[in-house]
């Protein structure tokens, strides 16, 4: 069996650990070959590949990013046609045959899961692994990359407390998450945020300012506000700048903003993500050995399972008001808007 493996969409810590899990299981346990495909689905169009060996897998467990490179190439977009009239999915199927690839492991986020589902329907043997810092992939409790991003964001929020306290300021920090508020919720609660604004829970800037005012009346000399990048704003400024400007204008309290940005996607994966990536990678290879395709690996509780790709595509895993961290946070006086 010869496996093709690719990484697609935004990078994050844990991708290389997943590649390692797939490859070491395939090579050592099943005697399979693994071909790395460069730059996501783009590498399948150009047959830009490399054969993985035990040597090339060394040092991957704790290495950030993806050694295969990535892209946001979507072969089925706009009917899948190139400018010179080639049907990309057909070309990819042909190239896989020429490369001797029996199946494909796709490591990626929502866009990649959608593409993987389309390739499965197109007759390609596909197994996918959910990857994203946003944790917004439906069908799995957690995606690898999320814990690492929460760890980075929490460390940043921890650091804001001392400067906010020294200057008696309101500090607003914007974290990633695309349309989901998982990073803001988990890092906001772990970092002691006083106000946490999520895309899934509408906020009223008057409530935000009243919360800050009440805190000041109770002698709280500073406030930490954590905002997800996907919250509603005026559509002009970045969320952190919009919220900070409104707070300073309406309360008169000195307010500063920080946009954490791509730091949340950098560096080495946390131990949790390393082990989740290892488990998911190994189980992807196990499904292949069993001839079980068209599925996405998933974490359900503490067990690794898999779900049909057609059930995953097009759905989002979003924060709900009933989530325990939201319920407990509200009971403790944290403002969610």
Catalytic sites, residue numbers: 134
Q: Does position 132 bind ligand F6P by CB under 6 A?
A: yes
- Least distance to ligand F6P, CB of residue 38, Å: 18
Q: Which residue has the tokens 């060996």?
A: 53
Q: Does position 109 bind ligand F6P by CB under 6 A?
A: yes
- Least distance to ligand F6P, CB of residue 183, Å: 8
Q: Which of 132, 152, 159 has the alpha carbon at shortest distance from 18?
A: 132
Q: Does position 10 bind ligand F6P by CB under 6 A?
A: yes
- Least distance to ligand F6P, CB of residue 305, Å: 23
- Least distance to ligand F6P, CB of residue 67, Å: 18
328 CB burial (10 A radius; 0-12, 13-18, 19+) = exposed
Report the C-alpha gap between 149 and 14 in whole angstroms. Answer: 11
Q: Does position 131 bind ligand F6P by CB under 6 A?
A: no
E strand residue ranges, 58-135? 103-108, 126-130
| CB contact at 8 A, 184 and 228 | yes
Q: What residues between 290 and 319 interact with ligand F6P by CB under 6 A?
A: none
Candidates 18-26, 73-81, 126-134, 291-299; binding stretch for ligand F6P (CB under 6 A): 126-134
Q: Does position 108 bind ligand F6P by CB under 6 A?
A: no
Candidates 92-100, 174-182, 308-316, 327-335; binding stretch for ligand F6P (CB under 6 A): 174-182
* C-alpha atoms less than 13 angstroms from C-alpha of 178 in its C-beta half-sphere: 16
Report the C-alpha gap between 13 and 19 in whole angstroms. Answer: 12
Count the residues of the shown chain that bind ligand F6P, applying the rule CB under 6 A. Answer: 10
Report the C-alpha gap between 244 and 241 in whole angstroms. Answer: 5
User: Residue 29 corresponds to which tokens in the numbers above?
Assistant: 């346990």
Q: What residues between 224 and 243 interact with ligand F6P by CB under 6 A?
A: 229
Residues that bind ligand F6P (CB under 6 A): 10, 109, 132-134, 176-178, 229, 265
């Amino acid at each position: 069996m010869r496996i093709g493996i690719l990484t697609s969409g935004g990078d994050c810590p844990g991708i290389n650990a997943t590649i390692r899990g797939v490859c070491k299981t395939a090579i050592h346990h099943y005697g399979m070959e693994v071909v790395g495909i460069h730059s996501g689905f783009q590498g399948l169009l150009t047959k830009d590949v490399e054969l993985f060996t035990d040597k090339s897998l060394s040092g991957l467990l704790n290495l950030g990013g993806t050694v295969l490179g990535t892209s946001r190439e979507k072969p089925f977009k706009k009917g899948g046609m190139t400018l010179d009239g080639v049907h990309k999915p057909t070309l990819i199927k042909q190239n896989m045959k020429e490369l001797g690839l029996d199946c494909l492991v796709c490591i990626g986020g929502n866009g990649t899961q959608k593409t993987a589902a389309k390739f499965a329907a197109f007759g390609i043997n596909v197994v996918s692994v959910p990857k994203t810092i946003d944790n917004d992939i439906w069908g799995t409790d957690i995606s690898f990359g999320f814990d690492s991003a929460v760890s980075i964001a929490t460390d940043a929020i921890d650091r804001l407390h001392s400067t906010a306290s020294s200057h008696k300021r309101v500090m607003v920090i914007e974290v990633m998450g695309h349309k989901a508020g998982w990073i803001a919720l988990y890092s906001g609660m772990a970092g002691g945020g006083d106000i946490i604004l999520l895309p899934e829970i509408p906020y009223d800037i008057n409530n935000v300012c009243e919360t800050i005012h009440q805190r000041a009346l109770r002698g709280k000399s500073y406030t930490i506000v954590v905002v997800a990048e996907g919250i509603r704003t005026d559509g002009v400024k970045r969320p952190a700048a919009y919220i900070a400007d409104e707070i300073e204008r309406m309360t008169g309290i000195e307010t500063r903003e920080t946009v954490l940005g791509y730091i949340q996607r950098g560096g080495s994966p946390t131990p949790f993500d390393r082990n989740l990536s290892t488990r998911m990678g190994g189980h992807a290879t196990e499904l292949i050995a069993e001839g079980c395709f068209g599925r996405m690996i998933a974490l359900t509780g503490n067990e690794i399972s898999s779900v049909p790709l057609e059930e995953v595509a097009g759905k989002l895993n979003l924060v709900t008001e009933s989530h325990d961290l939201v319920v407990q946070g509200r009971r403790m006086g944290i403002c969610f808007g």
